[in-house]
Amino acid sequence: MRLLVVSNRLPITIIEKEGKLRFKESVGGLVSGLSAYLDSLSGSSFTKSEYIWVGWPGIAVDDKTKEELRLKALTEFHAYPVFLSEKVMEKFYHGFCNKTIWPLFHYFPSYAVYEEDYWLHYKKVNEAFCDAVMEIIKPDDVVWVHDYHLMLLPRLLREKISNPIGFFLHIPFPSYEIFRLLPEKWRKEMLEGLLGADLIGFHTHDYTQYFLRCALRILGYEHNIGKLILEDHIAKADTFPMGIDFQKFYNAVNSQEVQEERAKLKKTLADFKVILSIDRLDYTKGIINRLQGYEIFLEKNPQWRGKIILVLRVVPSRIGVEQYQQMKKQIDELVGRINGRFGNIYWTPISYQYRFLPFHHLVALYNIADVALITPLRDGMNLIAKEYITTRTDKAGVLILSEMAGASKELGEAIRINPNNREEIADAIKEALEMPLEEQVRRNQIMQNRLKRYDVTKWADDFIQKLLSIREEQKRFNAKLLGNYSEQLINDFKKAKRRLILLDYDGTLVPFAGHPQMAKPGEELLKILRLLSEDQKTDIVLISGRDKDTLQNWFGTLSIGLVAEHGIWIKKKNENWIMTQPLTSDWKSRIIPILEMYADHLPGAFVEEKEFSIAWHYRAADPELGSIRAKELMDDLVNFTANIDVQVLQGSKVVEVRNAGVNKGTAGLYWISKNDFDFIMAIGDDWTDEDLFKVLPEKSYSIKVGMTPSHARFNLHNYKEVQKLIEDIVK
């Protein structure tokens, strides 16, 4: 078994130096985190030699060089480069990824650009990654796709392979109100893209819930504890807060390089309490807010002037994004203003540098800082907060952390603040500087233990194990797919002397429609049913919840049996309609006002009255509110009808009330008892069809449409497969 890691960037970057192409290790939280996990794989289901990392190598090369680089990257670095032109990368990475998804998912909608050309290049790059994966994939490989650059990739792969596919989003997933700002076509394709994966992972419970809500409201997919039953597979959305390589950071403190750097910093900063701020240059990080908070702190607390220093390190990021250049200018001006306003010849309030930080320098800064000030306006996780706590081997130091960072859910012992409130930042700095050492140690001990237990290896291993367990569940479902048995079914059908075929209609022979009358059968379906009904050995019965007039209107010309209102009305072929038992409908007048009241409170819902049943439809309503209203209606009806001889049942986007004692099972038995059938097949998609499946003889072919648990022996994915099966039988 191999693991295929797929991300926008490879863990190595190809650079051109003096006319030669060379490999250099890439930087970044994902690369360092996953590299630690991959290094730990020896002896597990995967081995170190059995993983491949697919991604962009950071450079465009000519066709002649591509194969040479691919071979070297694969053999020496377990890497498989996806080569893209500079023009494509400009519109994909700097365009759609950084000017559309990044600002929108971080709640900066005014910065988002909705450019059709960017979207088309985003699709093009996802397709290129799909092609690259297909070039190297093997049947037992596990595919793990990472981050917002490749949100279409899981579905593209799902359409070609049956391997386990996982996806992890490393940035926030926004609320429905933000996500729906994307054009309708884009947002649908992005959600469908993600749902191509078996497991979709997020850093926090909030992000997971926002995703599930969007899947419901935009695509209409309901979930059960994060699990979504889709047409072709089971998908699960779950929460996995990413950890760091705890031992790497903890042990690095005692390395010679870090100790030497620490000694230099201590010498320079010996007379001050150190407040540390490290971030990439990004408008989501709240650097301006924390500088303004620091300024307010100095205003309100003159006793601390000359005794503290804010060590501000800003790491260059995404050159070319206009907002970043403006922000750099603002930071420069703000630092100059604060230093000019409060500083003197002996003291500079802010030590500011704009540059990349080597690892040993970063760890040394963490280790000497009395306070870490981390105030993103929105952040998927924020590993800097975790790294700071980990490197405090003496357990001293105070973390001030924005509640908008994903890490704040785990680091509850930090001083948590709202970064939009500058006064709150100022107050938190004061609290941190004055916190007793014992309290610092108590808090940091708890957080360190937590980070040590759930490090990056545990995070990745949890994700992979959950992915494999979902695949096992998928296999159990797949075992029930008609698949290989369809040939046997057709042979049994052809050999049989007397056959009975019982078919549901909506969701089984045709897809669901917004309104029941829109699901009228097409000529192709009528032709198939007509051909099948002309065989004298075969009895076909349509068992539906629809009223008899509609069924008569649509299918009355065919030589088939019909069952209306789930078994209340029965019509043998070429005969008149009869009732299965005497029923009354005097209860309807008491129920209809309740259903109408609920329809009034849910735009798009409506009441359909039949002779002996009433249906409350909500397929055209808002799916989230519809689901809530349907549950409320079910509760009310169950209580209200406790002393009335009726059944209340919930189907697919419908709540129905009908006379008790009549169901599809009793209707099925009516037909089964009429002849000595040696072939019986029943197909349905609804839980109302379960009554029918239960009463069928043991060797019958009972088939559930959809991937939900059922009493049926087999499953088919959708109505298209049902139509194909019937066509194959007719041939």
CA-wise closest residue to 285 among 403, 377, 173: 377
DSSP string for residues in 174-186: PPHHHHTTS-HHH
End-to-end CA distance of the chain: give it in Å, rounded: 42
Q: Which residues contact 529 (CB under 8 A, 6 or more apart)?
A: 521, 540, 555, 558, 560, 726
Single out the residue of 168, 186, 34 nearest to residue 116, CA to CA: 186
Give the whole-angstrom CA distance, residue 70 versus residue 60.
13
Residue 371, SS3 per DSSP: strand
Three-state SS for 257-272 is HHHHHHHHHHHHHCCC
CA distance 89 to 81: 14
Q: Contact at 8 Å (CB) between 372 and 387?
A: no
Segment 264-269 long-range contacts (CB within 8 Å, at least 24 positions apart): 265/364, 265/365, 265/368, 266/368, 269/309, 269/311, 269/368
C-beta separation of 623 from 216 below 8 A: yes
Residue 33 contacts residue 144 (beta carbons within 8 Å):
no
The strand pair at 561-564 and 569-571 is best described as antiparallel
Whether the CA torsion 349, 352, 358, 359 is positive or negative: it is positive
Among 245, 279, 504, 689, the one annotated catalytic? 504
Beta strand pairing status for 308-315 and 234-239? Answer: unpaired
Question: Half-sphere exposure (CA, 13 Å, Cβ side) for 334?
Answer: 17
Helices (H), 284-321: 287-300
Burial class (CB in 10 A: 0-12, 13-18, 19+), 676: exposed
Phi first, then psi: give them for residue 171, nearest 5 degrees: -115, 170
Pairing of strands 714-716, 199-202: unpaired
Rounded CA gap, 562 and 118, in Å? 53
Contact 210, 175 (CB under 8 A): yes
Q: Is 504 a catalytic residue?
A: yes
| Exposure string over 107-122, b if 16+ CB within 10 A, otherwise e | ebeebbeeeeebbebb
Q: Is 124 left (phi over 0), alpha (psi -120 to 50) or beta?
A: alpha
What's the rounded Cα separation, in Å, for the pair 676 and 517? 36
Q: Around Cβ 581, how many Cβ atoms within 10 Å?
A: 10
Catalytic residue numbers, as ranges: 504
